[in-house]
Chain A
Amino acid sequence: MNTPIDILSADATGPAALPRRNGELVFDAPWESRAFGAAVAMSQSGMYRFDELRDLLIAEIGQWERTHCSDDDGWSYYAHWLTALERLLAQLNLLDAEEIEERMRTIARHQEDEHGHRHD
């Protein structure tokens, strides 16, 4: 009885349909999937152990919960995920907040320019 289950094979009615079978998308917004994918990809390539990220995530969530009501509208799981990832990258001297903020300004400026051109 050691045969893999046939429903796990890649047929159109099988696994491909599955994550949505319960009527929910996995991510609420595209940036969440990028944050998830980047963090997992870097742990898989050995830049850090996933548990290192998890420990920082627990700390972020814990801090939020100590300072907010549990039904606060401001809850965003992936906001904590992103903060934990940034902290880990900063600890590893791979990326710091200043660089990120500078790049945000550059991208925002670029987006504004594009927006402006469309209305010329």
Chain B
Amino acid sequence: MNHHHTTTTTDPSYLALRMKAVESLLIEKGMVSGEAIDAITDAYEHDIGPLRGAGVVARAWVDEEYKRRLLSDGPAAIAELGITGFGAEVVVVVENTPQVHNVVVCTLCSCYPWALLGLPPSWYKTPQYRGRIVRWPREVLAEFGVTLPNEVEIRVWDSSSDTRYLVLPQRPAGTEGLSERDLAALVTRDAMIGTGVVARPAA
């Protein structure tokens, strides 16, 4: 099956050397600059992360009208909050309810709503998660600490380049008096993938 050259090794020092060679050639040929690479890695390491998605969730929790718009046209509602960028234009928001729990995967690679959650965690990209969550969603969720009653329906959403899903988690009880900002602070990345739920704040 090796019809093309494949980097079969996963030796980190080999891969580091190989990438160093690729980068130096790309820069030398004027195809990319070191500064352009720095700008992107900095953005994803420091600025673009799950707080963006958490802000969207909190707004939906406090504003019914906004939630309605978010569920019917995700990209437009997300753009209202000033969030743009990779994947934002193809986001579909799915709502958790007492009857339905949603969870997101990308079975083919690692599609993910970067603009709202940043880059995916390592486990999201593993063959194990990508394969198992589809076949045994209830069991895999339990491994994440999400134990759902049997009557709750689990919907697994397979992302693609055309559609990237964000889970709108249920707002926990006991948060009635919280501000939008404080609500956002409760929302975890895993809750927006569906492998977590938003916990009630500690009293």
A7→B181 contact, CB < 8 A: yes
B21→A100 contact, CB < 8 A: yes
A99→B25 contact, CB < 8 A: yes
CA–CA, A107 and B109, complex, Å: 32
Name the prevailing secondary structure of the B interface residues: helix
Q: Which of chain B's residues have a CB closer than 8 A to the CB of A14?
A: 51
Q: How far is the CB of B30 from chain A (nearest CB, A)?
A: 11
Q: Which of B1-15 contact A (CB under 8 A)?
A: 1, 4-7, 9-10, 12, 15
Known: A15-B51, A27-B41. 18 other contacts (CB 8 A): A5-B82, A7-B51, A19-B44, A19-B118, A22-B188, A24-B121, A33-B45, A36-B44, A37-B37, A37-B41, A54-B109, A57-B109, A71-B127, A79-B9, A99-B25, A101-B21, A106-B21, A107-B17
Top 7 nearest A-B pairs (CB, nearest first) are A19-B49, A4-B82, A18-B49, A37-B37, A70-B127, A103-B21, A5-B55
Q: Which residues of B contact A (CB under 8 A)?
A: 1, 4-7, 9-10, 12, 15-26, 29, 31-33, 36-41, 44-52, 54-56, 58-59, 63, 65-66, 80-83, 86, 108-111, 118-119, 121-122, 125-128, 131, 161, 180-181, 184, 188-190
Q: Which residues of A contact B (CB under 8 A)?
A: 1-2, 4-8, 10, 14-16, 18-22, 24-31, 33-38, 40-42, 44-45, 47, 50-51, 54, 57-58, 60-68, 70-71, 74-79, 82-83, 85-87, 94-95, 97, 99-101, 103-104, 106-108
